[in-house]
Chain A
Amino acid sequence: MIEVKNLTKKYGDHYAVDHLSFQVEDGQIYGFLGPNGAGKSTTMNMMTGYLAPTAGMIKVNGFDIMEEPEAAKRTIGYLPELPPVYPDMTVREYLAFCAELKRVPKKERLSAVKEKMMELGIEDMANRLIRNLSKGYKQRVGFAQALLGDPQTLILDEPTVGLDPKQILEIRELIRNLGKKHTVILSSHILSEVSEVCDRVLIINHGRFVACDSPDRLEMGGKGGTTLLVAAEGKRADVLAALRTVVQVTDGDLTEDQGVVSASIDVPDRQDIRGRVSAALFAANCPVVEMRTKKANLEDVFLELTEGEEQADQDDQEQTDSEAEQESPASDKEEPKLHGEEEQKEDQA
């Protein structure tokens, strides 16, 4: 159980984390989502006692991280953004050191180290210098370190960064398994990862709370719901009239290009109206040339939610508005053009 209340971190005049509050129940996998610079790592650094908050409270498994740091830290395993490994040690030496640091009793140390190496698939690397390991293996060594001492809570900052697709699947499976016994908080900007692994997702932007819900509910809750994209030949007015017999549409939903009229229709209540739309257009003598439904996925919701935030304080950050123009979600009419603020890291899996 982790309680975070009004957590704030100020760097100069800039809020890296701004009055953030949330709770993580035991046995849940909690996803921490936000674009670059949203404050994910800063929040995690404060939760693990590495950074001191400017204001606010953090309670980890009943211990206040500021007041009883050692008791609280004993219950946390932390994998920071960069694995905190010593290049001049071998994997085994390093993990043995971590085990002692985390107060694993002397008798159990060797077996604990061995067990974690097995779990992360790094037994073969046991006697290699960490300096010589590839990035993915360093990441796994860092992960093994976080598991030592069997902490109740695992805090993982972008645990799959630097891994190859096969390893990503393995690590996700591992996280899912760990989630059965531990409380896990992981940060990511890979949306599919979060929606696949996490029970709940917390979205933050510019250090502020944006949304928190289960991935399914977030997807459904997006303004878009389902969107139907239709393209038909014919006059704009005819198409509009035909569509109006089936659903509510405005002229603004339509675009015309070389005699083909395309419409993007918000479908209420997730109905299936494809048949009726097709029939209506056929009756109006406007042959349908293309039709597809587009469900709002977490990606859209994410962009939608963080976009609104960004408009509120664009000057807040030296945001390079990379013109990664994504397929606009259904709510195009209310929102100005979307800017892909988020680094579109595709899930290679």
Chain B
Amino acid sequence: MRAIYKRELRSYAVSMTGAIAIAVALLIMGLMFRNYNLSTYHLLTFSYTLNNSSLVFYIVVPILSMRVFAEERKLKTDQLLLTAPVSVGQIVMGKYLALITVFAIPCVITGFYPLIMLRFGKETIKWDYSALLAYFLMGCAYLAIGMFISSTTENVIIAAILSILFVFVTQMISNTYTLMSASNFAALIFLVILAVLAGFLVYFMTKNYWAAMITISGLSAAWLITYAIKASWFSGKTEAVMKVLDFATHFNDFANGSFTIPNLLYFISAGAIGIILTIQSVLKRRWS
């Protein structure tokens, strides 16, 4: 694992991607800090800066994670890693730790900003750092998902686009709650669409046409029956489902001073899911 970790860090260093990612993150966060905390708005909480720095993820996550596995597959160096006496878990963890090490650098540097604000008063300092922690954890979750996306394709461009899409959905989804019709029927339609998406996912994972069809028809049938029996069950379900993907709201809850364990766990489990999916996807490829 150490060998892989060191090699990854080295490759971020020599290929400049690490430097670019760090520079972009520092630039955006610095600009936001100036805007929200120092000059334009003069807000007292640092979390506004972080809240408005989600742009960082759109750039940093694809830059850092798109090549992690996609490139190995293209170069066939995955043959070296997977036939070496290390487990897939170690390979994935070595790469992941390198990813979050690079991301930690701008976060640590940004960690000095709240100290600059000390002259405005120190009431908010606890919030500031819990927000920074949340921001870092959100980044770690994104990088884990980005790594998973990278492990599913040989094409780094596709990997980059998919991870930008994922950041987009998880950042923007809270804006669509009001657009969504609150009717039970709309929720039903939404869940059926999800069933179809689940079917595609099953097909992608197993390459089994029938398993996918069974997933889609099974879930849809279950929901139709539920709807026929008790339509009220669907009220609020759209939002509940969408909340699962709502990184932005979870971050805001966290950043606005409610340092809650569930919010913390939310990001940690999102990261864990990304890692587990990556391991599964690498293992699965051997069976294809």
Q: Give A residues with C-beta under 8 Å from B.
A: 45, 48-52, 69-71, 73-74, 76, 78, 80, 82, 84-89, 93, 97-98, 100-103, 145
Contact in complex: B3, A80 (CB < 8 Å): no
Given contacts A85-B77, A88-B15, A100-B3, contact A70 B287 (CB under 8 A): no
A86, closest chain B residue (CB): B77
Distance from B279 Cβ to chain A, minimum over Cβ atoms (Å): 14
Binary contact readout B1-26 vs A (1 if CB under 8 angstroms, 0 otherwise): 01110110011001100000000000
Contact among A51, A52, A102 for B85, CB-based, below 8 A: A102
**Shortest Cβ distance from residue B77 to the other chain A in the assembled complex, whole angstroms:** 5
- Asked if A101 contacts B81 (CB within 8 A), the reply is yes
Partner of B83 from the list A49, A52, A88, A100 (CB cut-off 8 Å) is A49
B84 touches A73 (CB 8 A): yes
Partner among B4, B14, B77, B85 whose Cβ is within 8 Å of the Cβ of A103:
B85
Given contacts A84-B75, A86-B75, contact A101 B11 (CB under 8 A): no
Contacting residues, chain A, for B11 (C-beta < 8 A): 86, 88
Contact B4 A101, beta carbon cutoff 8 Å:
yes
Hey, which chain A residues are within 8 Å of B84, CB to CB? 73, 98, 101-102
Query: Which residues 24-78 of B have a CB within 8 angstroms of A?
Result: 75-78
Cβ contact within 8 Å between A73 and B286 = no
In whole angstroms, how far apart are the Cα atoms of A85 and B85 in the complex?
A: 17
Contact (Cβ within 8 A) A73 B85: yes
Contact partner of A82 (CB less than 8 A), chosen from B7, B14, B76, is B76
Instruction: Decide yes or no whether B232 CB sits under 8 A from chain A.
Output: no
Chain A residues with CB below 8 A from B7, complex form: 86, 89, 97
Query: By the criterion CB–CB under 8 Å, are B3 and A97 in contact?
Result: yes
Q: B181 contacts the other chain (Cβ, under 8 Å)? A: no
List residues of chain B with CB within 8 A of the CB of A103: 85
In the complex, are the beta carbons of A78 and B85 less than 8 A apart?
Answer: no
B86 is an interface residue with CB less than 8 A from chain A: yes
Chain B proximity of A146: nearest CB distance (Å) = 10
A-B contact pairs, 17 of them (CB 8 A): A48-B83, A49-B82, A50-B82, A50-B286, A73-B84, A76-B83, A80-B79, A84-B76, A84-B79, A86-B7, A86-B75, A88-B11, A97-B6, A98-B80, A100-B6, A102-B84, A103-B85
Decide yes or no: A70 and B83 within 8 Å by CB, A88-B15, A100-B3 being known contacts. no
Please give me the residue from chain B that is nearest to A82 by CB atom.
Answer: B76
**Is B175 interfacial (CB-CB < 8 Å)?**
no
Q: Which residues of B contact A98 (CB under 8 A)?
A: 80, 84
Tell me which residues across on chain A come within 8 A of B81, comparing CB atoms. Answer: 101
B87 and A70 within 8 A (CB): yes
CB distance from A183 to the nearest CB of B (A): 16
Residues of chain A lying within 8 A (CB to CB) of residue B14: 88
Residues on the B chain within 8 Å of A48, using CB: 83
CA distance A84 to B78 in the complex (A): 8
Q: Give Cα A98–Cα B6 distance, bound, in whole angstroms.
A: 12
B15 and A101 form a contact (CB under 8 A):
no
Nearest to B283 among chain A residues (CB) is A52
Task: List chain B residues, Cβ under 8 A from A84.
Answer: 75-80
- Cα–Cα distance between A98 and B7 once the two chains are bound (Å): 10
Extra 5 A-B pairs, beta carbons < 8 Å, given A80-B76, A82-B76, A86-B75: A70-B85, A80-B80, A84-B80, A98-B84, A102-B84
Most buried by A among B6, B11, B14, B83: B83
A101 touching B286 in the complex, CB below 8 Å, given contacts A84-B75, A88-B14, A88-B15 = no
Are the C-beta atoms of A100 and B2 separated by less than 8 Å?
yes
Report which residue of B2, B15, B85, B86 has the largest number of chain A beta carbons within 10 angstroms of its beta carbon.
B85
CA distance A49 to B85 in the complex (A): 10
Q: How far is the CA of A103 from the CA of B194 in the complex (A)?
A: 46
Contacts of A71 in B (CB 8 A): 85
Residues on A with C-beta less than 8 A from B10 are 89, 93
A89 to B76, CA, bound (A): 15
Q: How far is the CA of A50 from the CA of B4 in the complex (A)?
A: 17
A49 to B84 alpha-carbon distance, docked (Å): 9
Chain B residues within 8 Å of A50, by CB: 79, 82-83, 286
Return the CB mask of B128-148 against A: 1 if under 8 Å, else 0. 000000000000000000000
Contacting A at CB under 8 A, from B234-288, are 286-287
Contacts of B76 in A (CB 8 A): 80, 82, 84
Is A78 a contact partner of B79 (Cβ separation < 8 A)? yes
Q: A85-B77, A102-B85 are in contact. Are A51 and B286 (CB under 8 A)?
A: yes
The answer to whether B86 touches A87 (Cβ under 8 A) is no
Q: How far apart are A200's CB and chain B's nearest CB, in angstroms?
A: 23
